[in-house]
């Protein structure tokens, strides 16, 4: 398989775990090399999926974390700026993994946020009632859109999804505050962080449309 430029594509992103150090002279890669690997693997992954136009390839790319594990994907991309291609991909994969692992929690928080976020709910495209299996289906669908659809739309759907969940956490925190102040505070903080993630994804969509997301 090759990229659009005819360059051979690896079957999976490069890794720099301990077992790879010998190939690099026993030295850890420097910051510039780590940055280059992060951006190159992100570009290759997206380019592979979009060039293939193959549902099987898309399915494999959506399930990347299932094969590699979230820590490996985090090592590749989590340290990159939020408004970059690897940073945006990391957030999409992390969001899918959370929904996959905690579908009931995701469903409860999404349901709590719907009435405060009509527009975002419509953009996210989740059917009502937002059952756990529906949340999982849409999380997969959003990530698949990176490879077989309009990448900017996929990022905007993910941003909207984050906005609804964030509103839901704020609502649940309000209801929980009297009985469990610490738990309510945790929900408030995580909701605020997710709202920031959503804004980063929305800005990344605009950068992609302008040809500036790399």
The pLDDT score that the predictor gives to residue 19 is 45
CA dihedral 67, 70, 73, 78 (to 10 degrees): 170
Q: Are 64 and 140 in contact (CB under 8 A)?
A: no
Residue 29's pLDDT is what?
61
CA atoms of 23 and 62, how far apart (whole Å)? 29
DSSP 214: -
Residue 82 tokens, joined: 């939020």
Residue 85's closest CA among 126, 50, 135?
Answer: 50
Alpha-carbon distance of 203 to 152, in angstroms, equals 10
For residues 192 and 155, what is the distance between their CA atoms, to the nearest angstrom? 19
Give bridge partners of residue 8 from the DSSP assignment: 2
pLDDT of residue 26: 45
- Count, residues in the chain: 214
pLDDT for res 24 = 41
Q: Assess contact for 73 and 90: CB atoms under 8 A.
A: yes
**What is the residue-wise DSSP string for 51-105?**
HH--HHHHHHHHTHHHHH-HHHHHHHHTTS-TTSHHHHHHHHHHHHHHHHH-HHH
User: What's the pLDDT at 28?
Assistant: 56
Give backbone dihedrals phi and psi of 29, rounded to 5 degrees, phi first: -65, 145
The tens-digit pLDDT sequence of the chain (214 residues) is 444 433 333 334 334 344 443 444 445 567 788 899 999 999 999 999 999 999 999 999 999 999 999 999 999 999 999 999 999 999 999 999 999 999 999 999 999 999 999 999 999 999 999 999 999 999 999 999 999 999 999 999 999 999 999 999 999 999 999 999 999 999 999 999 999 999 999 999 999 999 999 9
Question: What pTM, to 2 d.p., does this model score?
Answer: 0.86
């Amino acid at each position: 398989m090759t990229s659009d430029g005819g360059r051979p594509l690896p079957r999976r992103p490069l890794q720099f775990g301990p077992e790879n150090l010998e190939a690099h002279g026993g030295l850890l890669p420097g910051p510039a090399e780590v940055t280059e690997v992060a951006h190159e693997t992100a570009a290759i992954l997206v380019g592979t999926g979009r060039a293939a136009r193959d549902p099987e390839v898309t399915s494999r790319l959506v399930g990347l974390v299932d094969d590699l594990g979230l820590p490996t994907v985090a090592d590749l991309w989590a340290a990159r700026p939020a408004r970059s291609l690897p940073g945006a991909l990391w957030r999409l994969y992390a969001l899918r993994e959370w929904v996959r692992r905690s579908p009931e929690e995701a469903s409860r928080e999404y349901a709590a946020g719907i009435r405060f976020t009509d527009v975002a709910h419509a953009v996210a495209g989740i059917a009502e009632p937002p059952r756990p299996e529906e949340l999982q289906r849409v999380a997969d669908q959003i990530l698949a859109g990176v490879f077989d659809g309009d990448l900017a739309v996929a990022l905007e759907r993910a941003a909207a999804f984050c906005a609804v969940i964030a509103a839901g956490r704020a609502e649940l925190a309000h209801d929980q505050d009297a009985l469990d102040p610490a738990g309510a505070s945790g929900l408030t903080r995580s909701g605020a962080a997710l709202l920031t993630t959503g804004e980063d994804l929305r800005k990344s969509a605009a950068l992609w449309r302008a040809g500036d997301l790399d």
